């Protein structure tokens, strides 16, 4: 196992200028970015992940898209609303999604490991400990874990709600230095970016409640997230000492290179032992 972001004493507070030196990174990508007409974005996403992996970083991908990927094979034109059909679409789509990622990762001789979680897995001590141990071992073996919600068995009552939150909890679980939340928009804005007067938010300090910001919801029709869910997720990771960058999937290479793009959530100062009060997930 490498020393990236693991031991509390060695963990550092990542500055934006140090993105390219982040040692443990969690990247989350949404359904609309890698399914349907955008399935071609998987290859450049993998290129960026492989570049970070190649410089020695430990990389975890949290990927939505199982239901969206499975929909065409169930002859569905829109995301199903009933749980059973969502589970069926996820069962078909998860297999295809992982195949597409591994097929692309083969170009770099990187092996993916599939990790499917439910909210209960991270809320209860025993399964949470098991998940943490498995993730640490995968990273130590230089495997690239691909995490998704286990939609085939999850119920409405125990769902994460969106994979932005899942990504934040995974980043906290593995004590990541950096969480990158990708979507179709290049940054957070003071209001939905298609509206007049929308201004890009460059930096969010710890404790900034963004009182004057108006958030929209996902417009893709295949995902469940939006700007509000990204802010909520970013706060979970930020408060636990993980830096967060919110930007678009199309800019993932620039994001992991450290270019001045997206919206940066500065991390809280990590507490002794790598934990911050209220977020002891490990």
Q: Strand ranges (DSSP E) for the chain? A: 24-29, 58-63, 112-117, 144-149, 178-183, 203-204, 243-248, 263-265
Q: Which two tokens stand for residue 60?
A: 């975890």
Strand, helix or coil for residue 158: helix
Query: 184 among the known binding-site residues?
Result: yes
CA distance 142 to 223: 30
CA distance 250 to 253: 8
Q: How far is CA 255 from CA 178, 187, 238, 246, 264, in A?
A: 11, 11, 17, 9, 10
Query: 230 among the known binding-site residues?
Result: no
CB 131 within 8 A of CB 173: yes
Q: Which has the closest alpha carbon to 239: 205, 215, 273, 188?
A: 205
CA distance 274 to 176: 10
Long-range contacts of 208-213 (CB under 8 A, 24+ apart): 213/188, 213/189
Strand, helix or coil for residue 139: helix
Query: 95 among the known binding-site residues?
Result: no
Query: 31 among the known binding-site residues?
Result: no
Name residue 132's beta-bridge partners: none
| Binding-site residue positions for ATP | 28, 183-184
| Binding-site residue positions | 28, 64, 151, 163, 183-184
| Binding-site residue positions for substrate | 64, 151, 163
């Amino acid at each position: 196992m490498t020393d990236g972001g693991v031991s509390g004493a060695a963990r550092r507070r990542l500055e934006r200028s140090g993105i390219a030196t982040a040692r443990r990174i969690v990247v989350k990508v949404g359904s609309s970015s890698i399914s349907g007409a955008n399935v071609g974005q998987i290859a450049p996403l993998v290129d960026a992940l492989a570049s970070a992996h190649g410089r020695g970083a430990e990389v975890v991908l949290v990927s939505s898209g199982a239901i969206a990927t499975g929909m065409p094979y169930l002859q569905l034109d829109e995301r199903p609303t009933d749980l059973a059909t969502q589970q069926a679409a996820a069962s078909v789509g998860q297999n295809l999604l992982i195949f597409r990622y591994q097929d692309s990762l083969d170009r770099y001789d990187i092996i993916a490991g599939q990790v499917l979680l439910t909210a209960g897995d991270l809320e209860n001590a025993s399964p949470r400990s098991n998940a943490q141990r498995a993730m640490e071992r995968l990273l130590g073996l230089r495997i690239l874990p691909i995490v998704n919600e286990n939609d085939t068995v999850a119920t409405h009552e125990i769902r994460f709600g969106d994979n932005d939150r899942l990504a934040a909890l995974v980043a906290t679980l593995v004590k990541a230095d950096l969480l990158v939340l990708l979507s179709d928009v290049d940054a957070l804005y003071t209001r939905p970016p298609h509206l007049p007067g929308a201004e890009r938010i460059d930096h969010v300090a710890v404790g900034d409640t963004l009182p004057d910001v108006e958030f929209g919801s996902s417009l893709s029709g295949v995902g469940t997230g939006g700007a509000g869910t990204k802010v909520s997720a970013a706060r979970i990771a930020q408060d636990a000492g993980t830096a967060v960058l919110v930007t678009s999937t199309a800019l993932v290479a620039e994001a992991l290179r450290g270019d001045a793009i997206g919206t940066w959530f500065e991390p809280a100062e990590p507490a002794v032992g790598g934990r911050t009060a209220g977020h002891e997930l490990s």
